[in-house]
Amino acid sequence: MSHHHDAPLRSANRDLQEIEKKMDRRRFLTRTSLGIGSLALGSLMGMEKIFAGNPQIPITPSESSNGLTGLPHFMPKAKRIIYLFQSGGPSQLDLFDYKPRLVDLHGQELPESVRDGQRLTGMSADQSSFPLTASAFKFQQYGQSRAWVSELMPHTAEIVDELCFIKSMQTGQINHDPAITFFQTGHQLPGRPSMGAWLSYGLGSDNQNLPSFIVLISKNAVQDQPLYARLWGNGFLPSQHQGIQFRSGKDPVLYLGNPENYDGKDRREMLDYLKSLNEVQLDTYGDPEINARIAQYEMAFRMQTSVPEVTDMSSEPDWVYEMYGEDSRDPGTYAANCLMARKLIEKDVKFVQLYHQGWDQHGNLPGGIKNQCQKTDQATAALIKDLKQRGLLEDTLVVWGGEFGRTVYSQGTLSPDNYGRDHHPRCFTKWMCGAGVKPGFTYGETDEFGYNVVKDPVPVHDLQATILHLFGIDHEKLTYKHQGRRFRLTDVEGHVVKGILT
């Protein structure tokens, strides 16, 4: 009887032992494959990311995460970029694209042959009249390059010989959300990685104690159009490549500081236990995003020291504040963010993105754009001068502009002293300067109405391809496989605009 009863027990034990053997084999294969995968990931991301936080493998500021193997593809001209995004669509006709013939045509109807059936926004589609509107502001030529600049931007006028104006920008997007998403991610629909995330993924970081991609948003801007965190998001790239927003005030990065009565030793101990738990989860599921999570916790720990240091403005002399303007003493303003951008790139942050809202002047454009220029002109010019005097401009790329331009006709009623302008995607102006870009140069041309490009059009993907090129990247080769397809910033388009390169 006892043997009869023992048989099922022996069988169960054998089954259990077999399961344990299989589990051991599975664990062995999982762990060794993950170990090999970690080494491969280490060669791609830089070994210091894999071993971040390990006291046996210290990280020094001079070490850099080299990004993907084989990048850059060729010698880069740019090491860093500051993108001064003017959200809302600045009017090129009132700032840089001087059209003297409009003075004589002011108030006359836009010829149908010029518009050529172009689709309009819902805000002006029902207008029965499209009166041509000359700028209310005077233009002059400046510098050896004889660039035309409006009286609204006297400080920018002083630096035109450093700038490369692109007057022939084009986009297929006519509304704010898809247009700004297109500029930042290469696609009009949400979900793709931002340009800063692509650069972080491809090239890694040159400062292990700060994020490679940092975002600053003006606090004193007219918030006529919303900004979304997805504009600086990582999309389907590993999450450590997303942009980190620095805010003005006591806590530049939310939740970075220790809780009350909690010190650095406590935080280090907590992170070590948390890392162990994450590694158990990694062993179990093999999700590479867990590695990204570990890296982010370690970065946050290092940022507890590095962020207060880089955001401390007390060492800046008075002459610097005077150069950037009085607003630069007020943290979070556009001027203060321009100064902060300079400090961040001095620390080798690769991508600094500034957003300044308030350029969406459908009505009362003369008053609205004057106010915007007063907030931004001096600090923008000061940033370029500051970078140049510190020897940083030669390998720092600076980009200025919005998501589209404004129409040559008035939206709504045109009065003797007031007008508005609707969105215009067919032609608008951006400027670039610094690393590898021709200084004192104007590229592209629009017609006498400022409505269509007549020479050297530059679509958005061409601009993105050119920016990547300046970083030594072939835009067709920086890809990421997601859902069975290889994606890239420039989608299936894009050509490098060689005419603006030195």
Domain ranges, ordered by start, for the chain: 80-500
* Residue 146 dihedral angles phi and psi, to the nearest 5°: 55, 40
Q: What is the DSSP letter of 52?
A: T
CA dihedral 276, 280, 285, 289 (to 10 degrees): 0
What pLDDT does residue 433 have? 98
d(CA 331, CA 453): 40
Angle of helix 264-285 relative to helix 2-45, nearest 10 degrees, comes to 120
d(CA 358, CA 376): 11
For the stretch 391-422, pLDDT in tens is 999 999 999 999 999 999 999 999 999 999 99
Q: Which amino acid is at 460?
A: V
What pLDDT does residue 60 have? 35
What pLDDT does residue 439 have? 98
Whether the CB-CB separation of 408 and 450 falls below 8 Å is answered with: yes
What pLDDT does residue 31 have? 44
Q: Are strands 244-245 and 213-217 parallel, antiparallel or unpaired?
A: parallel
What pLDDT does residue 251 have? 82
d(CA 88, CA 223): 9
d(CA 407, CA 118): 12
d(CA 266, CA 272): 10
What pLDDT does residue 45 have? 39
pLDDT less than 70: residues of the chain: 1-66
86, β-bridge pairs: 356
Whether the CB-CB separation of 247 and 218 falls below 8 Å is answered with: no
What pLDDT does residue 65 have? 61
For the stretch 271-306, pLDDT in tens is 887 888 888 888 888 787 888 777 777 777 787 888
For the stretch 414-453, pLDDT in tens is 999 999 999 999 999 999 999 999 999 999 999 999 999 9
What pLDDT does residue 17 have? 54
